[in-house]
Amino acid sequence: SGDSGDSGDSGNEIDCEVVSERALTTLDDKCGKCHGAGSSGQAQFDYVTDVYALIANGKVKPGFPLESPLYTRLDSGEMPPANVPSNQRPTEDEVDTLWTWIEECISVQLGCGQGDDFISTDDMLSWMRNDISDTTQISPDEREFIRYFTLTHLYNSGICGEDLEVYRYALFKLINSLSTGNKVVLPVAVDERQTIFRIDLRDYGWDKGLWEDIVDANPFAIEFVKNEAADLKDFTGTDVPFQTADWFVSNGSRPPLYHDILKIPSSRFQLEASFGINVDQNIQTEIKSNDDIVARSGFQNSNVSVNNRLIERHEFPNANNRVYWLSYDFAGNDGCRNLFAEPLAFCEDGGEIIFNLPNGLQAYMLVDGDGNRIDEGPDDIVTDPEQPNQNVINGLSCMGCHAKGMIFQDDEVRAHVYDSFDFNEDEKQAVTNLHPLAGDFKALQELDRKRFTDALEQVGPVVEREEEPTLRVFKAFDLDVDLRRAAAELGVRTEQLASQIGKLGPDLQKLVDGGTVKRQVFTANFAQSVCDLNLGVTEACSGPNGGK
């Protein structure tokens, strides 16, 4: 047995999907009673169909059946035990299928980052050092502005192909959505697998202090003290020259980092002043002279607001490629909260602001009724069905909702006021000036949408998914963590972590035997785990380099 290698194939072509299904069925049928999930026998393990756990605990070595105890014990007849009837023992064909599965198909089944395809921390440090040392790419006086974002841990955890492309796109989009630079600038891949990306802080209007602020907020930041890291730290002038991209996308897309990076002030009035926009003055000018500097649309229903809503457009006085949108949102529809009764003297309870960055992408701000910045919109005013608590989160929720730019919304106020007997001629004229005809308003929205989508096209081709990529990465980052993902984030192989798991805190012991832990639990234990495994220096480490 163990030399046919052709189970489930057609000619010499191995169909790993078929082989894997047959192998797992055999393991479940012939071994699952004692070694399956929740089995009641006195067996030593209960994860015979959990491929990750089999690898992590040394039962299977992908590519090497003869070094896989699961296979050798079945092939020798040692397992199942002698008292098991012959009809409950695996056949020779089934054992051959297990050989093929281990030798050829597990690596295919698990994707990238296995065996020789695993990218070590030493590899990463070496590639970054070689990149920053290449004077044809980076002059010596530019090195201090170079930093890196990495997706390597995702690759090592089996995320590759189109799935990894979503993460790349989310990184490219977010970093340019946090930029005050005049154009879209894409991070540069420095490795063949495109898991490490170089940025120049200056391309995004960032400085070295801002990078350190991001590092300080990052519970996954590690200072490496290996020799390979010395030049990299020396050239860049920082102890942490690279950070993981999925953490950055998940956290840089929402407060407090979103506000800190974009320097969004504490009130909309400060923001408007920085743009040279005087909203009240613009409104009065539009009412008096109809100069087309303000355009409004009011309506009963929208996808976000619980009640009626009004959106308002202003142009930047000194930038013809940027506009400023302000919504007025309400906690009810009665009294002065009723747009259709008070189109000129309403009293809003909050609002959303959308404005173009210099590169054409959009940035966002949420405010309360007094115009003060808030992190989340109250659920009695606005809701986001994508969030578990339904709350609109500034940045993240806005990116999800406005994935294609401005959302077209027809005005209902102008016609209502025009046909009503409740308004005098001056009021009707004021509303007419502020609320353009439907076609004119839509033309403005189309212009603004195109400005955004043109910039978005420079980010790269969007991987077609139902969800906006930033939102998708945010949700994926919050999923439970298994042993392979934990090992990848720590920068070690799955089997290495499995053999050392006893050194880690009690909260992480559930990772063995196919278990998982909540993302929050893993995050809380990460820094100490790095210290316990002597992988690098974090805030949790004691000694001269730790706890900085």
508 has which bridge partners?
none
How is the chain split among helix, strand and coil, in percent rounded to 5? 45, 15, 40
Task: Please provide the size of the chain in residues.
Answer: 548
Q: Which residues of the chain register pLDDT less than 70?
A: 1-12, 37-44, 52, 56, 110, 303-306, 380-390, 462-466, 543-548
- Cβ within 8 Å of residue 450, ≥6 positions away: 405
329 has which bridge partners?
309, 350
Count Cβ atoms below 10 Å from residue 148 Cβ, excluding itself.
23
Find, among 304, 285, 226, 263, the residue nearest to 434 by Cα.
285
Find, among 521, 515, 529, the residue nearest to 484 by Cα.
515
Pairing state between β 392-393 and 376-377: antiparallel
DSSP 39: -
Cβ–Cβ < 8 Å for 293, 276: no
Q: Identify the sign of the CA torsion 235, 236, 242, 245.
A: negative
Cβ–Cβ < 8 Å for 71, 58: no
Find, among 54, 248, 225, the residue nearest to 148 by Cα.
248
CA distances to 51, 298, 339 from 336, rounded to whole Å, are 62, 14, 7
How much is the pLDDT for 463? 58
Helices marked H in 157-236 — which ranges? 161-177, 208-217, 227-236
Cβ–Cβ < 8 Å for 321, 451: yes
Which amino acid type is present at position 148?
Y
How much is the pLDDT for 11? 43
How much is the pLDDT for 211? 99
CA distance 364 to 262: 10
pTM given for the model: 0.81
Q: How far is CA 84 from the centre of its chain?
A: 50
CA distance 38 to 29: 14
pLDDT digits (tens, 9 = 90+) for 204-231: 999 999 999 999 999 999 999 988 899 9
How much is the pLDDT for 466? 63
Write out the two tokens for 217: 């907020």
How much is the pLDDT for 425? 95
- Cβ within 8 Å of residue 10, ≥6 positions away: none
